[in-house]
A and B are shown apart, each in its own frame.
Chain A
Amino acid sequence: MTTQADDELWSAIGDPSRRRVLDLLVSHGEVSASWLAGRVPFSRQAVSKHLVVLERARLISRRKQGREVLYQVEADRLDQAARAMAELATQWDRRLDAIKRLAEAAHAESKQRSPS
C-alpha cells in the first residue's frame, strides 16, 4: 500500500504534460512560469496548474527574485521518487516469488495425492 505522499507523487508524474514541465526544469535549472509557457504546447494557465501540482508533490520549489517567481527541481525528492519506484518493483518481485512457492507446493502436493 502506498502512502498519501506517494499518491501525490505518482499522480504528479503520471501526467505527460507535467513530465514535460519537469523535464524542462531538470535540463534548464531555475526558470519562470512564462519561460516554461513559451516552450510547451499548452497554455500559461495550464503551466501554472501543473506547477502547483508538482510543488504540492514537493518535486519542485519556488523562490522570488525581484518581481519574478523562479521554479526549480527538488533533487532529493526526485531521487527519493526513483528509489520508491525501484522499491515498488522489488515488492512485486517478492510477491511473485511467494506466489511461485505457493503454487509449486500446491501442485507438488496434488501430484503426490493422485500420481498419474
Chain B
Amino acid sequence: MPDLMIDRDVLIEAPVEVVWRTITDPDQMSQWFADRVELVVEPGAHGYMEFGDQGGPVVVETVDPPTRFSFRWNHPRGEEPVTGNSMLVEFTLTPEGDERTRLRVVESGHELLARPEAEKQRYADEHRGGWGEYLDRLASVLAKRDPG
C-alpha cells in the first residue's frame, strides 16, 4: 500500500482466535485502546470511543473473523465517514504456526484510496516510505537550507 501513513506489526505468542477476541471484544478494547468503548463489531455499525476528556465516533468497516477487522474514525462530526474525510484503521491477523500470530495495523487516510491505479503507482514511486518519511525528508531539507 503506497499511501499508508502508519504501518506497525507485532508477533504474539497466542493463536489467532485469541488475538481476534482481544482486538474485537469491546471490554478488552477498553484495556488497550480507549478508556471507554461502545461498539458492536458488525460491518457498518456506529460506535464511540472515549479517551480521557476527548472522544469520537467510529464506524466499523470490515469484520472478517479471525483475520481482518477495520474501522474508520477521525471524520468531521455529523458526517458519515468515507474515503476522503476519515482515517482507516485496519488490523490484519496472520497465523504463524498454531500458537503464534502476526498482528499488523495500518492507519491510512484521505483521498488516495479513491484515486486511479496509475496515479497511486506514481505516488508510490515518489513516496515509497509513506508520509512519515516524506515529512522527515521535508524537515531535513528545510534544516539544511540556507536561512538567507
Complex-state Cα separation, A82 to B136, whole angstroms: 6
Residue from B32, B74, B127, B141 within 8 A of A99 (CB atoms): B32
Q: Are A95 and B33 CB-contacts (below 8 A) given A1-B49, A10-B87, A11-B110?
A: yes
B12 at the interface (CB under 8 A from A): yes
Q: 0/1 per residue, A20-51, Cβ < 8 Å to B? A: 00110011010000000000000000000000
Taking chain A's interface residues, is the majority helix, strand, or loop, or is none over half, making it mixed?
Answer: helix
B97-118 residues with Cβ-Cβ distance < 8 A to A are: 99, 101, 103, 105, 107, 109-112, 115
Q: Are A19 and B134 CB-contacts (below 8 A) given A10-B110, A89-B6?
A: yes
Neighbouring B residues of A85 by C-beta, 8 Å: 5-6, 131-132, 135
Query: B136, A92: Cβ atoms under 8 Å?
Result: no
Neighbouring A residues of B15 by C-beta, 8 Å: 107
Query: A78, B111: Cβ atoms under 8 Å?
Result: no
Query: A1, B56: Cβ atoms under 8 Å?
Result: yes
Query: A14, B12: Cβ atoms under 8 Å?
Result: no
Query: A27, B135: Cβ atoms under 8 Å?
Result: no
Neighbouring B residues of A86 by C-beta, 8 Å: 132
Neighbouring A residues of B131 by C-beta, 8 Å: 13-14, 85
Neighbouring B residues of A73 by C-beta, 8 Å: 138, 142
Neighbouring A residues of B141 by C-beta, 8 Å: 26-27
B55 at the interface (CB under 8 A from A): yes
Tier of interface size on chain A: 35 or more
Q: 0/1 per residue, A70-108, Cβ < 8 Å to B? A: 000101001101100110110011011111101110110
Complex-state Cα separation, A94 to B99, whole angstroms: 22
Q: Are A96 and B135 CB-contacts (below 8 A) given A7-B74, A10-B87, A15-B111?
A: no
Complex-state Cα separation, A85 to B56, whole angstroms: 20
Neighbouring A residues of B55 by C-beta, 8 Å: 1
B92 at the interface (CB under 8 A from A): no
A16 at the interface (CB under 8 A from B): yes
Q: List 26 A-B contacts (CB under 8 A).
A: A1-B54, A2-B74, A11-B109, A14-B109, A14-B131, A16-B112, A19-B127, A22-B138, A26-B142, A26-B145, A78-B139, A78-B142, A81-B135, A82-B135, A82-B138, A82-B139, A95-B33, A96-B8, A97-B10, A99-B19, A100-B10, A100-B103, A102-B22, A103-B22, A106-B14, A107-B14
